[in-house]
Structure 1
Amino acid sequence: MEPDNQTSSSEFILLGLSEKPDQETLLFALFLCMYVVTVVGNLLIILAISTDSHLHTPMYFFLANLSLVDFCLATDTVPKMLVNIQIKSKSISYSCCLTQMYFFHFFGIMDSVLIAVMAYDRFVAICHPLHYTTIMSPRLCGLLVGGLWVFSGFISLTHILLMARLVFCGNNELPHYFCDLTPLLRLSCTDTSVNKIFVLIVAGMVIATPFICILASYARIIVAIMKVPSAGGRKKTFSTCSSHLSVVVLFYGTTIGVYLCPSSVRTAMKEKASAVMYTAITPMLNPFIYSLRNRDLKGALMKLVNRKITSSS
């Protein structure tokens, strides 16, 4: 079929997590609760870190950025799904779809690489403690985060420009609850080989490479922990790192399955389940994973809450 004879879709139909109307009320209540917890938890961490001078260190600087990114990632996908359920409309315009996809990839890339940067920060702190303040200088931390914002914006914009050249005709039903890249590529009636190659390249850069770096960092960290003479010191160090490893398993385990596994083993249901993990569940759990296992952060949160209670009374 020639492109001149094709009519590009002006909107898509998001089929959502379930096509059964009787399940939508339960899904709305569940995801609304999850989103509220995500917003409150991540904003509290940002406020606690920004208001407590004792937490103005590289580790908490990266954690504050991760909380901001998690909040934005969840906000990009979950509210639209909640609105669609509430107003019984599943349509999304072509321009809104591309906009949602841009911010999804922008914050998704930020999330992935930030987790790797935090692993490097823990590696330097545990394996090179005497040189930590010199290596992880404020200038380097600012460059890492600032460069990551620019890199994420560039990659996301390239995704959108490649997607904008495609033509969508015929079926416009997207078996997802937001505009994700791989389901959209399946709907295109033009050649998507360039897009698919770029997806693999980007996935290698922002998923596989950070994941390998994290594994290498924690292999060195585990060796260093085993050399700590006291059992109490080993337990404290491992407790700090185990929370980070929990995030790594949750996030990379699902993203690798979606973007790096062969399409023959992926189904629409598996893709949606994985997407729920890294767009809703992981951003919701991160504040608990990092705060409940961190004495300094729990103290800062308590001071913040007490300050608000005192000022209101």
Structure 2
Amino acid sequence: MIFFTILLLVYIIILGGNGLIIFVVKNISQLPILSLKSPSSFLSLCLLLQTLNDPKLFSPMYFFLHNLSFVDVLFTTSIMPNMLAGFLVDQLTISYSGCFLQMYFFIGLSVTGRAILTVMAYDRYVAICNPLRYTAIMTRPVQVLLVVGAWGFGALCPLPAITMALQQRYCGPNVVRHGWCDPSSVRRLVCGDTSADNIVSLTSALVALLTTGVLILTSYVLISVAMSRMGVAQRLKALGTCTAHLTVVSFSYSAASFIYISYRVGNVSAEVRIIVSVLYSALTPFLNPIIYSLRNKELRDAIRRIGTRFRPAVMSAPKNIQTVT
């Protein structure tokens, strides 16, 4: 019950934090139209939400942040509810197809999150290295194309490993020693040679990590070169726009590398790997909204306006509505 309570609170905070970012960034310009026939209290609320729209929150960076928060919500939802249920029953079961479906979404959404971080690094590169052409380059079609590419990359990466795993024959123990259907843990249940599966799984992981990692590193190398030619004030301003993203990237890739190494070291027990994997899967979506909220002034201001204006707007709405017929 202790672990259940802790993970439940973490899951609620993940949904609330990322959901708040999605709510703040999302365009709500159509609300006044929807409220024309509504009571005045609801009209006041909609007008309030409309005033919360900050043009800066509709820049490409916040469009990508909106998608990253959405990925984090789906990523934790793919494993957390099922894992929470495991703390309440003696033996948690999952169907054969459900196990591989969970495995696919866990890997795919993890890769999608890193692909969106790569897109955000490219956005920072264009903003700092080509500021005069930024609006001409990062148009809305380009933003949508980059996000679609990130989702497509995440959807394709797990397919080779999952396809080969589905073709294997499983017998003997049917217990996956993990909090979810982890590929390495499921592979231990195969009755046969898994060397080809290991190679394909390793190749897919390296492609996903190295491709995104190299692109992010390249973006920041070019950003560093551009910043070295700037004045002190411009350099500090450029650094401030990259701090939150760089913090998230550093934590995400450091944790992923630690997980990857722990699975390749023979003397690391299964219990330790499970604990580390659970912490990584929960902490990354948990910290992302906190880091971006603390390091981003526009986002903090928008959240503050929600807290300070929501209650007064609702309370100041007229209690009675008189109509003349």
Report deviation, 1:102.
1.4
* Structure 2 equivalent of residue 121 of structure 1: 123
Q: Could you tell me how far apart the structure 1 residues matched to 2:159 and 2:204 are?
A: 12
- Aligned partner of residue 170 in structure 2, secondary structure: coil
Asked if 2 retains the 8 angstrom alpha-carbon contact of 1:203 and 1:259, the reply is: no
Looking at structure 2, the residues matched to 63 and 112 of structure 1 have their Cα atoms a distance apart, in angstroms, of: 12
CA distance in 1, matches of 2:154, 2:261: 19
- Note closer, same or farther for the CA distance 1:307–1:53 as it changes in structure 2 (3 Å cut): same
Query: Aligned pair 1:50/2:26, yes or no?
Result: yes
Structure 1 spans left out of the alignment, 5+ residues: 1-24
Look up the match of 1:191.
193
**Alignment match of 2:13 (pick from 32, 37, 49):** 37
Deviation per residue, 1:3-31 (Å, 9 max, x gap): xxxxxxxxxxxxxxxxxxxxxx2211111
> 2:256 corresponds to which residue?
255
Q: What RMSD, in angstroms, separates the aligned Cα atoms of the two structures?
A: 2.1
Q: TM-score with structure 1 length normalisation?
A: 0.84
Distance 1:88-1:312 versus aligned 2 partners, 3 A rule: farther
Q: What is the match of residue 158 of structure 2?
A: 156
Cα distance change of structure 1 residues 297 and 192 upon mapping to structure 2, 3 Å threshold: same
1:141 aligns with 2:132: no
Offset, 1:234: 2.6
- Paired residue total: 288
Identity fraction in percent: 38
> What CA deviation, in whole Å up to 9, does each residue of 1:276-301 have, x standing for no partner?
24421010110010111111111222
State the distance in 1 between where 2:240 and 2:296 align. 9
Instruction: Answer 1 or 2: higher relative contact order, Cα 8 Å, separation at least 6.
Output: 1
* Residue 237 in structure 1 maps to residue 213 in structure 2: no
Asked if 1 retains the 8 angstrom alpha-carbon contact of 2:294 and 2:300, the reply is yes
CA distance in 2 between counterparts of 1:158 and 1:94 reads 18
Matches within 5 A, 1:1-313: 25-51=1-27, 52-54=53-55, 55-230=57-232, 232-259=233-260, 263-265=264-266, 267-310=269-312, 312-313=314-315
CA distances 1:258-282 after superposition (whole Å, capped 9, x unpaired): 3477723554244324422442101
State the one-letter code of the partner of 1:234: R
Instruction: Quickly say closer, same or farther: Cα 1:181–1:308, change in 2 above 3 A.
Output: farther
Distance 2:144 2:261 in 1: 30
Distance between the aligned counterparts of 1:260 and 1:129, measured in 2? Answer: 39
Within 2, Cα distance between the matches of 1:87 and 1:267?
Answer: 24
Whose radius of gyration is greater, 1 or 2? 2
Give, as a single letter, the amino acid of the residue that structure 2 aligns with 1:48: V
Maintained 8 Å contact 2:262/2:273: no
| Unpaired segments ≥5 residues, structure 2 | 28-52, 316-325
Change (3 A) 1:279 1:264: closer
The separation in 2 between residues aligned to 1:254 and 1:30, in whole angstroms, is 20
Q: Secondary structure at the match of 1:174?
A: coil
* Distance of aligned partners of 1:312 and 1:192 in 2 relative to their CA distance in 1, 3 Å threshold: farther
Q: CA deviation at 1:212?
A: 1.8
SS at match of 2:94: strand
8 Å contact from structure 1 (residues 203, 260) kept in 2: no
**Displacement of 1:90:** 2.6
Deviations 1:97-124 (A, max 9, x none): 1121111112111011111111111111
Change in Cα spacing, 1:234 to 1:33, as seen in structure 2 (3 Å) is: same
- TM-fit CA distance, 1:310: 4.1
**AA aligned opposite 2:274:** K
